[in-house]
Each structure stands twice: as structure tokens, then as C-alpha cells.
Amino acid sequence: MEWINEANVLIAGLGLIGGSYAKALKRLGFRVMAMDKDEETIRYALENKIIDEGKTDDSLLPKADCIILALYPSIVAQWVSDHQEHFKSGVILTDVTGVKSGVVSKVQDILREDAEFIAAHPMAGREVYGVKNSDDKIFREANYIVVPTEKNTDEAIKWCKNLGRVLGFSRISVLTPQEHDSMIAYVSQLTHCIAVALMTCDDNEHLRDYTGDSFRDLTRIARINEDMWTELFFMNREPLLERIDGFIAEMENIRAMIDQKDEEGLKEKMRLSTKRRMLFDK
Amino acid sequence: MEWINEANVLIAGLGLIGGSYAKALKRLGFRVMAMDKDEETIRYALENKIIDEGKTDDSLLPKADCIILALYPSIVAQWVSDHQEHFKSGVILTDVTGVKSGVVSKVQDILREDAEFIAAHPMAGREVYGVKNSDDKIFREANYIVVPTEKNTDEAIKWCKNLGRVLGFSRISVLTPQEHDSMIAYVSQLTHCIAVALMTCDDNEHLRDYTGDSFRDLTRIARINEDMWTELFFMNREPLLERIDGFIAEMENIRAMIDQKDEEGLKEKMRLSTKRRMLFDK
């Protein structure tokens, strides 16, 4: 399926991310269908022209040339198993989940022979939820990672990269599931652990009167969806524990430098940190 | 000295913060004088009407009704000791430094009997330096902390709170030097340690291709002025070490919850963190 052709896209799960995919793809002229278990969600999306067609049941599946699984990671494999009898032959599926090792192989193992699943991780989000808050501007300046396995065809990998491009992502890259999960444990899950710990390690009610921008920046993500993040942490437990240990060890290093007044050691860390962070701002 | 009266204000040290004070006070109709060891700084400030009068020597001191010490923390006490013979009798002094226990008592111990020093911490700043980057808009939405000791009069405390108000700060609060330093170790210095450690605990050159907003937010302050921050860390060493220990202990708690799949414990932490962070956004 080429992105320049007319294609019927079906989005399974019309939340913040699913809704944002819908808006981007509809703007580009695709026919966008959605399945969601919540009737009100479908009604809202139809009324606001976010989708062309929407159902709470299976009935749109046979029309879909491609399916975006915009579901919680823990239910992706089960959803495929429950619904694949209705898939069109040759359908291509992708997902949006933030953990891969546990999801990708499970889906690929159970998937029909005449369908292909190519995993992707759109690294975009907001602190609010649901289709009403969806907005495809969140993809601009953001990163998109394609996560193929040896079971994927070159065609599907190319298709998935193109999907990232048409959605408007700035940087598209490719990682194995293991590389992806270790990276994500670092840049996403570890940062959320830190933000939560920073917010809960002290019990001051008047914090707001004393904080500057730095504390606000480090705790923006401390407003956190506890169901989703607990699930993500547990699904990526081993890589995350490794990253937490690495970070705590580095905090202990810096602590020792302050304790021992190791001026040169501390300045060296700060110069390294400055140099690395500057690469982001180019 | 009342803020509604005509008063001669002298700013010692015309950098980013000193220059921003000058701009705010001049806009309000005060006569603003400045002392700075750099001639080019004084010339620039006069030419751009940031100040009414400026000198690199002592000659303006006898005219000043109040003095703002906008200097690096390590030189504040020495500056007072070197210049106080020229102070007008009854002069009131305040400062802008980010650490208090080591500075306030030192200045109050050596100060002339007919002068009063009341400490304050304007929690505002930018990642750039010097009078050319000064801008009193940085005080809006920012916090201002008055830090009195038992040596201060009620009048001076009131004067200092009013200074914060006329400068345009949103929230004015009062803390003891010990409370201030413990708070600042938490909301400012600990956050900078975390940002540096997060940036230096891994050595991936392609990080930029995989990061989302959360990692960017947590490392914005990892671009850090190593001279100033090493000085601040060492000047506030004990409170900072305590805060680092408290934070590491909380990270270890969260680590154990992930390791043991303690779902309820982890969700409870996240709900607490969400509740506390929401207070900031009101």
C-alpha cells in the first residue's frame, strides 16, 4: 500500500494519539475510519469530522487497508487475536505503544499469514487524554521510531517510515525492539520516575511559593496517568531497573564530589553535561 | 524609607539581575544609581538610560538611601566591609544572592550600627548574562523570598516585601536563612544535580533522535554555568547533601516497587505526585 494511493485507514482506539493520527491523515485526504468501544467517542469524532466513519463493533474491519493499533500496550495482542478473522487479506498493521519487546513478538506470532504487523513508536503526547484533546501538531518537531524484526518485509518498513513522514514527524529512525526498549527506559520511563520521586521526596505544601522554572520543568511530567505508566514500567521492567541503577550511581558520584569539595570533578561533569545538552538545541 | 517617597537607589553590580532591578525601579520613577567595576557596563547603562548616574568608584555611595547588592554570593560581605565607610547614615541594604546562611550573618556581623541589611532572594534569572540581557519582565510570575534574622526590624522587613512588590514579583514569602537554604537546595540545586546526572549517566551520541519532550524538559538546565553552580553547591553543601540523600532514597523506593511489581504502591506515589504538581498549575 502506497501512501500516495487512496487507502482506507482504520484506527483502533480513538484516544489522544489515535485522534491525532485521524486528524493528520484526514487532512491529507485519506479515508479515516475508527473503532472504539465508547459510543460517545465515536459520536464526537463523527460530529467534529475527525473521522469519516466510526463504529463500536467489528463491521468496518473488512474495509481497512491498514490498521493503526492506538491501544494500551497490554491489550494489543489480545485485540489482534479477537478481531483478525475480520481483517482484509493483505492488511498492514502498525501500533503506537511505548514498549516493544513484549508486544511485537507476541503480535507477530499470532498474526494471520496474509497480514503484516510493523511496530512503530510515535514519541509525542500531552498531559491530557481523549479524542477531544487530540491534535496533530504534537507530531511536529517530534521523533518517530520504526521497530522492525526479522519477520518484517522491506516494503512494510518503508511503508511505516513513510507513515511517520506523512504524519509530520521531524526525525524518523529505526531500532530493534531491544534497542528501543533500553532507549525508552532511559529517555522516557526513567525521566518519569525522577519527576515523581522529586515531587514525593518532600512534603511541603507551600512549594509553589518558592519554585522557579527549573523545578517546574523537572516536574511537568509528575502529573501522570498512573494506570498507563504503571503498566509501561512493569512491561519494560528489566531495562528500566538497569537505567534507574545507572542514574542512581551517577547521582552518588555527584554527591561524593560535593561532599569532598572535588571542584575539578564537578566542573568536568557540568562541562560534559553542557556539551551534550547543546547538541539538542542545534 | 517608604517606597512612595523619592529615594535614591544604588545598585552595586550591574549584571543581569542588577540591570533588571534598575529598569524596574527607573520605570517607577526612582532615581537609580549604579556602581560597577566595569567602565563599559556603566557607559552602556547610561547611554541606554537604564540608570541616572553611574560610577566605577565609591563616589555615589554617600547619596544612596538604599543599596541593592547584586553581586556573586562569595564577595558580598567583603564588598560591604570595603565600602561601608562611605555609606549614608540610616542606609538600608538588601541583596539578591541564592544562598543565605553563609552570607546574611557575615554581613550583619560586620555592618555599621547605623545601617541595616535585610536579605532577599529574587527567584528569577535567564541562561544569559550581563546588563545587556537585563529585563524586568523576568520578575513577572516569579517568586521573591524575604529572609530576615532576629537582627532585622519590622520596618526593614516591610520595606523589603514592598521592594518585591514594586519590582513586579507574583508571590512574596518570608523564610529564615536555614529554611531558605534547605528549600533552595531542594527546588534549585537538587534539580540541577539531577539534570546533570541524567545527561552524564549514558553515552549515546544519537540521543537527539530518540528524545521526547520529557527528556528535553528534564535536561534544559543541564546547560550549566560550571563556575557559578559549583560555588553555589559548595556554599550550600550540607542542605544540598541532605536533599540529594532524600531524593536518592525515594528513587530507591520507587525502584523497589517496580522490581517487586508493587502496583498499588507505585500508583499511590503517582497519585500523590499528580496531586502535588496540580497545585502549581492553578
Q: Are residues B217 and B141 in the same domain?
A: no
The percentage of residues in chain B with a pLDDT greater than 70, rounded to a whole number, is 97
At residue B252, the pLDDT reads 98
Q: Are residues B159 and B248 in the same domain?
A: no
At residue B70, the pLDDT reads 97
Q: CATH number, domain at A55?
A: 3.40.50.720
DSSP state of A97: -
Contact A65, A92 (CB under 8 A): yes
**pLDDT range class, residue A129, cuts 50, 70, 90:** confident
Residues of B in contact with A197 (CB under 8 A): 247, 250-251, 253-254
At residue A124, the pLDDT reads 87
Give A111→chain B minimum CA distance, Å. 28
Sheet of B119-123, strand order:
B119-123, B143-147, B171-174
At residue A5, the pLDDT reads 53
Find the mean pLDDT for residues A86-115: 96
Return the residue in A135, A140, A184, A187 with the most chain B beta carbons within 10 A, the one to mutate for interface testing: A187
Write down which residue in A175, A194, A211 finishes a domain. A175
* Orientation of helix B237-259 relative to helix B263-278, angle to 10°: 140
Residues of A in contact with B125 (CB under 8 A): 212
Residues of B in contact with A209 (CB under 8 A): 143, 145, 171, 173
Give B33→chain A minimum CA distance, Å. 28
DSSP state of B115: -
- Test B209 with A277 for CB contact under 8 angstroms: no
Residues of B in contact with A253 (CB under 8 A): 197
Write down which residue in B122, B150, B175 finishes a domain. B175
CA-nearest residue to B238 within chain A is A259
Antiparallel, parallel or unpaired: β B119-123 and B143-147: antiparallel
Q: Are residues B130 and B51 in the same domain?
A: yes
Q: Are residues B196 and B115 in the same domain?
A: no
CA-nearest residue to A219 within chain B is B277
Q: Which of A200, A212, A267 is nearest residue B273 as measured by Cβ atoms?
A: A200
What are the tens digits of pLDDT across the range B72-84? 888 999 999 999 9
Residues of B in contact with A145 (CB under 8 A): 210
- Test B194 with A251 for CB contact under 8 angstroms: yes
At residue A126, the pLDDT reads 75
Phi, psi of A102 (to 5 degrees): -75, -20
- Test A246 with B183 for CB contact under 8 angstroms: no
Q: Are residues B146 and B223 in the same domain?
A: no
Find the mean pLDDT for residues A217-226: 93
Q: Are residues A105 and A150 in the same domain?
A: yes
- Distance (Å, rounded) from C-alpha B60 to C-alpha B172? 30
Residue B3 lies in a domain: no
Instruction: Report the number of distinct structural domains present in chain A.
Output: 2
Q: CATH number, domain at B223?
A: 1.10.3660.10
Residues of A in contact with B139 (CB under 8 A): none
Q: Are residues B187 and B247 in the same domain?
A: yes
The percentage of residues in chain A with a pLDDT greater than 70, rounded to a whole number, is 97
Give B267→chain A minimum CA distance, Å. 5
Q: Which of A218, A224, A273 is nearest residue B191 as measured by Cβ atoms?
A: A218
What are the tens digits of pLDDT across the range A171-200? 999 999 999 999 999 999 999 999 999 999
Q: Are residues B115 and B201 in the same domain?
A: no
Q: Are residues A40 and A90 in the same domain?
A: yes
- Test A226 with B261 for CB contact under 8 angstroms: no
Angle, CA of B41, B45 and B48, to the nearest 5°: 140
pLDDT (tens, 9 = 90+) of chain B, 282 residues, equals 555 556 899 999 999 999 999 999 999 889 999 999 999 999 999 999 999 999 999 999 999 999 999 998 889 999 999 999 999 999 999 999 999 998 999 999 999 999 999 999 999 877 678 999 999 999 998 999 999 999 999 999 999 999 999 999 999 999 999 999 999 999 999 999 999 999 999 987 788 888 878 899 999 999 998 998 998 999 999 999 999 999 999 999 999 999 999 999 999 999 999 999 998 876
| Residues contacting residue B64 through CB under 8 Å, at least 6 positions apart | B8, B9, B10, B33, B87, B88, B91
pLDDT greater than 70 at residue A1: no
Q: Give the residue numbers spanning the domain of A142.
A: 8-175
Mean of the per-residue pLDDT values of chain A: 93
Contact B89, B62 (CB under 8 A): no
Q: Are residues B214 and B201 in the same domain?
A: yes
Q: Are residues B28 and B94 in the same domain?
A: yes
- Amino acid, single-letter form, for residue A163: L
Other Cβ atoms closer than 10 A to A129: 14
Q: Are residues B234 and B107 in the same domain?
A: no
Residues of B in contact with A175 (CB under 8 A): 210
Q: Which of B241, B258, B278 is nearest residue A223 as measured by Cβ atoms?
A: B278
